[in-house]
Chains A and B, each alone.
Chain A
Amino acid sequence: MTLSITLTVNGTPHHLALDDMRVTLLDLLRDRLGLTGTKKGCDRGQCGACTVLVDGRRLNACLSLAVQQDGADIVTIEGLAPEGSLHPVQEAFLEHDAFQCGYCTPGQIMSAAGLIAEGADGTDMERIREGMSGNICRCGAYRGIAEAVAEAARKARTEADA
Chain B
Amino acid sequence: MKSFEYLRPETLDEALAALSDPDAASLGGGTNLLDLMKLGVAGPERIVDLARLPGLDRIETLPDGMTRVGALVRNSDLAADPGFAAAFPMVAEALLSGASAQLRNAATVGGNLMQATRCAYFQDPFAACNRRAAGSGCDALGGANRGHAVLGWSPACIAVHPSDFCVPLAALGAEAEIAGPSGTRLVPLAEFHLLPGEEPHRATALEPGEIVLALRLPAAAAGFAGNARYLKLRERTSYAFAVVSAAAALRIEDGTVAAARLALGGVAARPWRCSEAEEALAGKPATAESFAAAASIALSNAAPSGANGYKIVLAERLLARTMAAAAAGTPAEMPALPGSLMDDTGEAAHA
Contact = CB atoms under 8 A, between A and B. Distances in A.
A133 interface: yes
B6 A3 contact: yes
Contacts of B238: 129-130, 133
Interface stretch (A29-37, A52-60, A80-88, A92-100): A52-60
B101 A45 contact: no
A64 B100 contact: no
Given A3-B6, A67-B6, A59 B38 contact: no
Most buried by A among B5, B29, B102: B102
A20 B6 CA distance: 10
A58 B30 contact: no
A1 interface: yes
Interface residues of B, number: 35
Contacts of B351: 142
Contacts of A114: 101-102, 105
Contact of A68 (B4, B30, B99, B239): B30
Given A44-B35, A130-B238, A59 B1 contact: no
Interface string B317-343: 000000000000000000011100000
A134 B103 contact: yes
B contact patch SS: loop
B109 to A, nearest CB: 17
A18 B5 CA distance: 12
The contact size tier of chain A is 35 or more
Contacts of B8: 70
A43 B38 contact: yes
Nearest to A110: B102
Contacts of A131: 101
A44 B99 CA distance: 12
A65 B4 CA distance: 12
Interface of B: 1, 3-6, 8, 27, 29-31, 34-35, 38, 47, 49, 51, 76, 80, 99-103, 105-106, 237-239, 336-338, 348-351
